[in-house]
Amino acid sequence: MENIVLEVKDLRTSFFIDKKELPAVAGVSFKIAAGETLGIVGESGSGKSVTAFSIMGLIDSPPGKIMGGSILYKGENLLEKTEKEMRKIRGNKISMIFQEPMTSLNPVYTIGKQLAESLILHQNMTKKEAEKKAIEMLKLVKLPSPEKRIKEYPFQFSGGMRQRVMIAMALSCDPDILIADEPTTALDVTIQSQIMELIRDLNRKTGTAILFITHDLGVIAELVQNVIVMYNGKIVEYASVKDIFKTPYHPYTIGLLNSMPKIAGPREELKFIRGMAPLPGEIVKGCRFKTRCDYVTEECRMEEPPLYEVGDSLVRCWRFKK
């Protein structure tokens, strides 16, 4: 048995808007081993970010509420922890970086202060020690002349550099898990690949497990070992990155892969998945993908399929019923 650091079991998180329940995450289960890189792919509104925020215990309540399931960090259920206990884990054992590096740093504090903050909080460092460690962390994320830069403010940094600072901050307490919520989406392509290379590098160096959330399959291919494809709050396919690209099973996964523009080969019209992604709670009966699927049958309309094992993959589709 490998060393599992995080196990999410049947997580269900809903938002209550106008007294209506919108199940953003409708029963999601997965495991992350120490040092593993797991990717979650899905369209906007598929529940991938909500899954991440649920793990961090940062769902805004109200309107959000974790309705059920468990999140086991090294065997301890985070959902049963008090806010005070969670604060000791957040930013220390499990940390997170976000989509918007431009706005994720506090504009009125220096980079050094923001980096030192979690070190002073979690590692009981003095200001001096924290500053030294902060410089070290900035070196680790390859920010030039860190001694000078810790005295500067976020507005003096570019987007890519700010994301480096965010990564340095997230990794400063040597966490077991880093949750990266679309950290490259807001950056331009060259910076994107630099940041990804950095994350991959740090994963190897520090052994921090990474939960990487993205809607970009290209990013997934470069970075992660295993992939979860989410659709409308549920996992529709769970496989290794090799299998996802070589033998995708779920019609949605196939659709996603087909809709990636190809550089090689003859020019052809870009494929897309017809229809629109349903809202959380919109589909109450049958398969969540039935409205957009080319293989839809009567069975799909009536009942939601379970996750079937196909080779090494898990697929939520009736076509793989045994």
Q: Which residues bind another protein (CB under 8 A)?
A: 56, 58, 86-92, 95-96, 98, 100, 103-110, 117-118, 121-122, 153, 155, 166, 169-170
Q: For the CB of residue 64, give the shortest distance to another protein in the complex, in Å.
A: 13
| Closer Cβ to another protein, 87 or 139, answer by number | 87
| Closer Cβ to another protein, 43 or 100, answer by number | 100
| Closer Cβ to another protein, 91 or 305, answer by number | 91
Q: How far apart are CA 188 and CA 186, in angstroms?
A: 7
Within a 10 A sphere around the Cβ of 40, how many other Cβ atoms? 28
| Closer Cβ to another protein, 122 or 164, answer by number | 122
| Closer Cβ to another protein, 106 or 297, answer by number | 106
Q: For the CB of residue 32, give the shortest distance to another protein in the complex, in Å.
A: 18
Q: For the CB of residue 86, give the shortest distance to another protein in the complex, in Å.
A: 8
The set of residues, in sequence order, having a beta carbon less than 8 Å from that of 200 and lying 6+ positions away, is: 37, 222, 223
Q: For the CB of residue 96, give the shortest distance to another protein in the complex, in Å.
A: 5
| Closer Cβ to another protein, 87 or 142, answer by number | 87
Q: For the CB of residue 25, give the shortest distance to another protein in the complex, in Å.
A: 18
Q: For the CB of residue 183, give the shortest distance to another protein in the complex, in Å.
A: 12
| Closer Cβ to another protein, 99 or 214, answer by number | 99
- In order of 133, 134, 148, 167, 284, the CA distances from 171 in angstroms are 11, 10, 20, 6, 41
Q: How far apart are CA 161 and CA 144, in angstroms?
A: 10
Q: For the CB of residue 198, give the shortest distance to another protein in the complex, in Å.
A: 18
Phi, psi for residue 274 in degrees, rounded to 5: -70, 160
